[in-house]
Amino acid sequence: MTALPDVLSLIQPTADLHIGNYFGAVANWVKLQDTHSCVFGIADMHAITMPYNPADLRTNTRNMVIDLLACGIDPEKSTLFIQSLVPEHCELCWILSSQCSYGELSRMTQFKDKSNKLQSESADEYVSAGLFTYPILQAADILAYRPTSVPVGKDQEQHLELSRSIARRFNQRFDTDFFPEPKALYTKTPRIMSLAQPTSKMSKSAGLKHYIGLFEEEKSIRKKVKSAVTDTGEKDPAVYMSPGVQNLFEILWACEAQEVADQLESDYKADQLKYSELKGAVADTLVELTDQFRQRRDELLADSDHVDAQVRAMSEKARQIAAETVKGVRKLAGFPAL
């Protein structure tokens, strides 16, 4: 039997990663692979629950593979797979759907948020059944590998709890302990906010000035940081830092530029901080970080055939684990062996 991983996590293939994505998830993955047996996936099948372009999906999935490798996901330490190359996820999803109630799905907040957004943007667009049932596929994504832990943020707790509930119900229904109930793996992940609206989380959907791409060019990074909102009016004596200033410090801390951040914070406490110096330090730190990612990404793109073969091999490795899980599930659920 193929060894089961300790940690499992997936990410949807977006057009470009930004620094909020990196510090919120990917940087943590890179650290976890040094201490855990990890399986990471690109959830391209989840990306079809909202209106999409097939060519863009294919391109974004391939680019996400390259981007994650450029960020430090190491095939020698971890398994990185593409979800659609492991069809066992879908079979398991169907079986697990019988262990999930309509009421549980109807209470999922992301379905409400996304369906409302979709209907407000276009009266012609329908809300797909996939958008309603995709939490079961998320549960299948996790349970296919029977990990002990799943790295999550607070906004993902509801989905993980549903996965735990489905695992528990399956075990009770078939009198087994086949599925472990995966635990949330909480690690310190900084919440990076929009540069232009620091009370909102960094997001590409808000527009170019609101985020910094992980592979963005130096000139553009410096321009965006220079324009970042700091104080929007008179300082509130009851607030240590305004959201904009706090966000710039968060970026420095996330980049582990502790010495620079400590000095600038000392200046801030003494009311001697020049925001131009803070912004300059943030820009310098981000340029240093993104330069190494762009260089590594260029190397991977120059050897893209090897990368394609590598991710297919890793997806096959992931499929072996998922297939063993499905084999056990089929037996327990009463289906004939394949």
Q: How many CA atoms lie within 13 A of 51 on its CB side?
A: 10
Q: Which residue type, as a one-letter code, is found at position 41?
A: G
CATH number of the CATH domain containing 246: 1.10.240.10
164, 252: one domain: no
217, 260: one domain: yes
Q: What tokens appear for 69 in the block?
A: 């490798």
Phi, psi for 225 (deg, rounded to 5): -65, -40
DSSP, collapsed to helix, strand or coil, labels residue 115 as helix
DSSP, collapsed to helix, strand or coil, labels residue 72 as coil
35, 85: one domain: yes
Has 9 been labeled as part of a binding site?
no
In a domain, 338, yes or no: no
> In a structure prediction context, what are the per-residue pLDDT tens digits for the chain, which is 338 residues long?
567 889 999 999 987 899 999 998 999 999 999 999 999 999 999 999 888 999 999 999 999 999 999 999 999 999 999 999 999 999 999 999 999 999 999 888 877 777 777 767 766 678 888 989 999 999 999 999 999 999 987 667 888 999 999 999 999 999 999 999 999 988 777 889 999 999 999 988 888 999 999 999 999 999 999 999 997 666 666 778 899 999 999 999 999 999 999 999 999 999 899 999 999 999 999 999 999 999 999 999 999 999 999 999 999 999 999 999 999 999 999 999 88
Domain coverage including residue 264: 204-297
In a domain, 195, yes or no: no
In a domain, 2, yes or no: no
Number of domains in the chain: 2
Active site residue 204: yes
CA–CA separation, 159 and 108 (whole Å): 8
Active site residue 114: yes
- Among all chains, which residue has been given the structure tokens 């971890």? 78
What's the pTM? 0.91
In a domain, 1, yes or no: no
Spell out the residues 6+ positions from residue 23 whose beta carbon is closer than 8 angstroms to its own. Answer: 189, 190, 192, 254
In a domain, 197, yes or no: no
Has 182 been labeled as part of a binding site?
no
Question: Among residues 77, 201, 317, 331, which one is catalytic?
Answer: 201
CA–CA separation, 150 and 160 (whole Å): 8
